[in-house]
Amino acid sequence: MQLEINVIDAFTDTVFKGNSAAVIVTYEWLDDTLMQSIASENNLSETAFIVVDDKGIYHIRWFSPLTEIDFCGHATLASAFVLFNKNLNVQSIKFSAKAVGVMTIVQTEAGKIQMDFPNRMPEKVDEIPESLSAGLSIAPAEVYRNTQAYFVIYDSESDVLNVVRDNEKLKQLAPYDVVVTCQATSEKYYDFVSRYFWPANGGDEDPVTGSIHTGLAPLWAERLGKNELVAYQASKRGGVLNCTVANDRVLVSGNAVQYLTGFITVEG
């Protein structure tokens, strides 16, 4: 069986930047084991699998090299990019995922792809887990948590950029990942910066993480007193995300660029 595969760099307009995701569209779901094997073979942050129903809603599932993921923003952006390119007259797409519900994706006049996600504002943690403190070389100023990750607040960009992690310690926080963040100071264009570590669920450091901004954006919106924010994820590849907090929704927008189109051959 041959399957078309597209690899897209998300949250960037430059190839080799942002976060790469593979996108595979099929008429019906592949076997779960096969999807996980494909994702492991691709060895990208995520591989997205898409099946459209008779109502035109695209059902999406995301797999890291290690496991199926409940929610992935950059692979949703990559998937929308592929579908928009296959359907040039379409300006809006609806995705559906079990853990997130229905998501409306649109192409903006500015040329970005805008995703409508649930607001996943984190809550402050009073007792910091020992494995979190021991897993980071710089002590947090504050810690928050939502259903996805621990949010470590630092006082300076140098802390975010220079913190060293112990992956074995951070794995003990499973199923939670860890994001470190602070208010941006060195670049006036950005409101806040972050880095995302997920050794328990996918790998070492994620290049750009759309889903975590459904927690980061409302957190910084509250702290900065503004609902329109520009975020920079300060990984080696880097990525820019435009975020709008609108009550119980967070709109996350970004660019994407095609890296690869091809076919894979699998048994199934």
DSSP, residue by residue, 7-40: EEEES-SSTTSSEEEEEEEESSPPPHHHHHHHHH
Give the mean model confidence (pLDDT) for residues 127-132. Answer: 96
* 236 shares its domain with 127: yes
* 185 shares its domain with 260: no
* 189 shares its domain with 92: no
The CB-side HSE value for 24 (13 A sphere, CA atoms) comes to 27
Q: What is the CATH number of the domain that holds 170?
A: 3.10.310.10
Catalytic residue among 28, 46, 130, 157: 46
Note the pLDDT of residue 199. Answer: 87
Q: What percent of the chain has pLDDT over 90?
A: 91
Instruction: Return the closest-CA partner of residue 157 out of 234, 104, 48.
Output: 234
Domain that holds residue 146: 123-246
- Note the pLDDT tens digit of each residue in 171-199: 999 999 999 999 999 878 999 999 999 98
* 156 shares its domain with 95: no
| DSSP-assigned beta bridge partners for residue 20 | 9
Note the pLDDT of residue 203. Answer: 73
| DSSP-assigned beta bridge partners for residue 18 | none
- Note the pLDDT tens digit of each residue in 48-93: 999 999 999 999 999 999 999 999 999 999 999 999 999 989 889 9
* 88 shares its domain with 184: no
* 133 shares its domain with 241: yes
- At residue 255, the 3 state secondary structure works out as coil
* 9 shares its domain with 86: yes
> For this structure, is 123 an active site residue?
no
Identify which has the larger pLDDT, 110 or 54: 54
* 219 shares its domain with 259: no
3-state SS, one letter per residue, for the chain: CEEEEEEEEECCCCCCCCEEEEEEEECCCCCHHHHHHHHHHHCCCEEEEEEECCCCCEEEEEECCCCEECCCHHHHHHHHHHHHHHCCCCCEEEEEECCCEEEEEEECCCCCEEEEEECCCCEECCCCCHHHHHHECCCCCEEEECCCEEEEECCCHHHHHHCCECHHHHHCCCCCEEEEEEECCCCCCCCEEEEEECCCCCCCEECCCCCCHHHHHHHHHHHHCCCEEEEEECCCCCEEEEEEEECCEEEEEECEEEEEEEEEECCC
* 55 shares its domain with 128: no
* 172 shares its domain with 220: yes
The answer, yes or no, to whether residue 266 has pLDDT greater than 80, is yes
* 137 shares its domain with 89: no
- Note the pLDDT tens digit of each residue in 205-217: 999 999 999 999 9
* 131 shares its domain with 242: yes
What is the total count of domains within the chain? 2
- Note the pLDDT tens digit of each residue in 217-230: 999 999 999 999 99
